[in-house]
Chain A
Amino acid sequence: MAEKVEIPVQKWSGRVREVTFGATKDEGGSRSRTVTVGGEATLPFLHFEGEIPHPPRVAIEIQDKKPEEWSPLLIKVWEEVIDDPAAWAKRAEERGADLILLRLSLDDAQGEENTPEKAKSAVRKVLSATSLPLLVFGPGQVDKDNELLVAVAEEAAGERVVLGVCEEKNYRTIVAAALAHGHLVDSRTPMDVNLAKQLIILIHDMGLPLDRILMDPSTGALGYGIEYGYSVMERLRLAALQGDTMTQQPILVTPGEEAWRAKEAKVGEGVPEAWGDWEERAIMWETMTSTALIEAGADVVVMRHPESVRLVKEAIDKLWMKEG
């Protein structure tokens, strides 16, 4: 005779905040629809335990010029659109993106310095080519990030774009730009729960409402420190559910960038034959990294290869099915 097993249910006192990307025409933007994440009242996919109003979302990363340093596999798969951010954004939308992340480069395709005007133009083109909400990340150099993102914030005023990345040493200018033009920010810290919370406090202290801040605790790829990233995300999410208010932000992580940095994904030569087919392995590397992080509580994963995106979205769909 089958024993009836009672599933223990944990009652949490806190929940994750909801954050909405993008703005429709009525809301002062031009997106066809917005995307909301967060709101979880329990751990990932435990639908029997508490409310999870929104599934995790996938952003596809594109760049304002052909990213020569990317793996040849990525360059090949986006080959037809890689020189045109507008076409790339459109193709990414067709390949299943929920959100588009545009990364600005230090130099343009001609090797000349990127400028606020060029950045504005790239953002404008991408906004026209896709109706998905947008995230715009700077090239990762303090002065250039600030210069370009301030211009982008102005150009995209009202669109509720996510500006990134804010780091402990450089967040004020970006937050001020987000405040002035109605945008959101990505708060990035290097895999540490204390620092993750601290930067949220500092950004919020500048007056940016908490429903406009994404928590980006950083991560490592499969085989390259993913367990640290996973633990930090898990700890932050547990704290959020226990009512620790400054950790209750939706989590954004960038497994695409991390996975494609790993040798296993990036290169096909000079690796053991036993590793098998390069493309298959690379796609799996990104897929496994992203899926693991979604299990740890990621609300948004930023990815690069359309086939990995398809596999991850399939996994999300399966995990999202609620019983009964």
Chain B
Amino acid sequence: MTLLLQGLALGVLTGGLYALLASGLSLYFGVMRVVMVAHPAFLFLAAYLTYTLHTASGLDPLLALPVTVPLFFALGVAVQRLLVARLAPENLPMMSVLLTFGLALVIEGLLGTVYTGSYKSVSMDYATRSLTLGAVRLPYDRIVAFAVAALTLAALFTILLKSRFGRALRATIQHREAARLVGIRTERVTGYGFGVGLATAAVGGSVLALITPFFPAAHWAWIGKLMAIIVVGGLGSVLGAALAAVMLGVIESLVLVTVDATWATMMFYVFLFLTLIARPQGFFGGRLAQRF
């Protein structure tokens, strides 16, 4: 029972990080129909930048965010304007897979050249301590990571739901041509949407650096999980992605403590296939058929 509770608690904490990352991925697809395979590669790029700032100045990973978030926002706008916008619109989802796959390889190559292929990590003194709640022990670094992910998600939803930019972005997602006809400059909004997506990767990268060691090729293990999450949540639905992420994070963690690591990872794909068979539009909104 203790093991299950421990698994459940850690699952929620990990699910929070998944939710943040999957929300970014969902945003790209919602706004542009772009399958952003390079999202986790940018995540690890942010982790390495955080590592560099930490080793150079002892900076806490969270204090790297004022540097990495604006940088990645600008990088996202540039990637959209200079690369993605040039893809043929009729084949955008497929071509975007090829383009962003290439981007992921370039980032991995650069990271390998600069940092070598060995593991790096950022170690803060609070990472070794944990909070004990009854029989459950929660590492402080995981709690901090979850809190940052949750706050970022809350900020993202507030922007999407309450701001003028958020309304323009949602309108662009839901009907691009109608959005143009109410005066929204959809190309600009799309660029900013991409920037926001990559900014979530910057936050995720700093958080990731805090909780786990990493190496340049580690991003490949993430893309399959994140893709499974956004399909289960409903492609293009940011809220759906967040909910599915927490759900799958908990399931992964429970299977990890009760069965083994292989089956834990497998659960993402089990739910992916179940979703495609039973409810291809996803469980929390989105319309897979229409959006492809």
Pair from one complex? no
Q: Which residues of B contact A (CB under 8 A)?
A: none
